[in-house]
Amino acid sequence: MSYYDNQVAYPPVAPAANTDILDYYANAPQLLFPTPSELLTDLSTPSAQIATSLPMQREQSQTSERSTEPPVSTPPNTSKTESQRKARQRAVAEEIGFIPTDPDTISSHEKKRHYLECLEHYVLYLHEQLRLVNTAPLDLERVSTYRGLSSRSIRTLLVHMQNTNRRLHENTLEEEQVFLDLSGQVMAAHGGGFPMRRHSVDVTGSSYGTDTTSSDRVFLGTGLSLSGIEQRE
């Protein structure tokens, strides 16, 4: 015969010299902080049902399970067959004394609203717990909604990028023109002191006194000798 059958209280712990303090802590009633799901349930339930706390609901559910009276059977719903998943959820809800919100009967907007309200209440609860230990919590800041650039802002940005690209292209053309002018001046200054040159393949079998055509002449503006080119004396 167990204590659950007679519904009697546990006997007090006998004092002993080697009794661990963790035993007293484990037997003591522990009130945990509410989870987001519990806060969400409190928000979705009417004000008349909020007064009952979670430990009282668990105690009532355990008392109803220990009682010998058979539970009142609810008439089956003939309009819609209950699925195995919903039947399991209903059995778990009746066992722990928690009535969840049916996701099929609540809209997506309501889910988001309840979830955000639950988070706000949960953060406020954590702030209160931090103040109890003399710790100042950080202030909550609501982020402003950003809908992106408008069509006018996008056009302004595109025009600015086009103007910047056009200006950079003009600067590139100016620098290229300066480079060409400097190259022409260098070639004009140093090109007159060097005679015309022709390929060595054209010189083979011919005398150096033979006049060369314009196609055989190669002009080197830098005055450097290259491989395959023979300078005429």
The distance from CA 207 to its chain's CA centroid, rounded to whole angstroms, is 81
pLDDT tens digits, the chain, 233 residues: what are they?
444 444 445 555 555 555 667 776 667 766 666 666 676 666 666 544 544 455 565 555 555 545 545 445 555 554 456 678 778 877 887 787 766 666 666 777 777 888 888 888 888 888 889 989 988 888 777 767 767 778 888 889 999 999 999 999 999 999 999 999 999 999 988 875 555 555 454 444 444 444 544 444 444 444 444 444 444 44
Distance CA 4, CA 10 (A): 10
Domain regions of the chain by residue span: 14-67+85-132, 153-190, 193-233
Burial pattern 20-48, b for ≥16 Cβ within 10 A else e, equals eeeeeeeeeeeeeebeeebbbbbebeeee
pTM over 0.75: no
Count of other CB atoms within 10 angstroms of residue 162: 10
